[in-house]
Amino acid sequence: MHELSSLTPVTPMTNGSSVACMPPYDDGRLPLVLLYSTVLVVGVPANLLTVYLTWLQVRRKNVLGIYLWSLSVCDLTYLFTLPLWAHYVSLGHLWPWSSAVCKLTGYIFFNNMYISIFLLCCISCDRYVAVVYSVESRGLRRQRVAIFIALAIVLVVALGHIPVFTMREGAEGNQRCFEPSQSSLMVTSFNYARFVVGFLIPLLLLAATNRGIRANVQRSTGLPREQKDRVRWLAVAVVVLFLVCFAPYHLILLVRAFMFHFPQDGACLFEKNVYTPYTISLGLSTVNSAVNPILYVLSSNNIRKELSRGLALICSRAQPRTRSDSSQNKIQPTKNSELNAAAESERH
């Protein structure tokens, strides 16, 4: 599932029956359903929280908040389709709903993957400019520009995947929904484009910007060692997470595109052998939606301070009324100092 496919079903290159070329749909079914369920349980509350926290940053004219808020909304939209995919897998990859629902959920999947990837690039580029060119970028990093870039990414990716609605996925007589099928020249070309534009270029961009951030912070003499270690960990984690979530899926797309140019009698065996790794790669790409809030949003100093202020406010309201005066006297200086720190960071 989750692959743009041609309308031609997979057929063997030998005299065997078409049944012999059926992919092993039952392999890994239970682990994949459990993975989707776990991502749903973790990802929905995490993204709901970060949508609210990043919106507070957007209202304070924070440029990075635009990209983080857009990423959380994008991930949340996809997570709401996971119950459909989990049920589809549990039924042995048989689509029980209409063709329109299949196309819509597939459309959301493709959009989520590449909108997320491009927004991750925007986040890393914005952090790179803010760190490496902290003085020069104060007049360049504007919220209006970030809004335009985020909207442009959504529009371009959404328009690019409109052909999904012209495919015969989930139709009567074809109960599969975006399963890998016999490749065509159009699908092969699209897979090449997805690998280069949607994976290779973003990977190089993420690696370069995070390497620059790490090197610049390590050279700084005004930052404590603990903060340098945190920046170094985040820079490495960003690239590693991207590789773990998106490299397997796109590498398999690339292999399938290569195989199209070398038709052989073993094409059916290849399709059967690559199907299980392909489903695993889909599960890994889904994990990204649950990890993004933790890695990108909660690693932001401003958002952590926002969360701390909210928790402090909740704790202060939960205390007995008899201790309210003394509690407020203890909390207020902390809140003032955090507000000052947040205001200082916002100016950067």
Residue ranges and CATH numbers for the domains of the chain are 22-319+340-346 (1.20.1070.10)
Q: What is the C-alpha to C-alpha distance for residues 151 and 163, in angstroms, rounded to an integer? A: 20
Confidence grade of residue 149 (pLDDT, cut at 50, 70, 90) = very high
pLDDT above 70 (res 15): no
pLDDT above 80 (res 304): no
Contact 254/4 with Cβ under 8 angstroms?
no
**Where is pLDDT greater, at 269 or 6?**
269
pLDDT of residue 141: 84
**Where is pLDDT greater, at 174 or 7?**
174
In angstroms, the Cα distances linking 138 to 130, 203, 269, 320 are: 8, 27, 57, 45
Q: Where are the alpha helices (DSSP H) in 261-322?
A: 267-292, 301-318
Contact 23/205 with Cβ under 8 angstroms?
no
pLDDT of residue 152: 97
First-residue to last-residue Cα distance in the chain: 44
pLDDT above 50 (res 235): yes
pLDDT above 50 (res 200): yes
What pTM, to 2 d.p., does this model score?
Answer: 0.82
Q: What is the C-alpha to C-alpha distance for residues 230 and 36, in angstroms, rounded to an integer? A: 30
Range 280-288 average pLDDT = 92
pLDDT above 50 (res 326): no
pLDDT above 70 (res 230): yes
Q: What is the C-alpha to C-alpha distance for residues 60 and 115, in angstroms, rounded to an integer? A: 24
Name the residue among 296, 300, 308 with its Cα closest to residue 337: 308
In angstroms, the Cα distances linking 193 to 20, 189, 196 are: 31, 6, 5
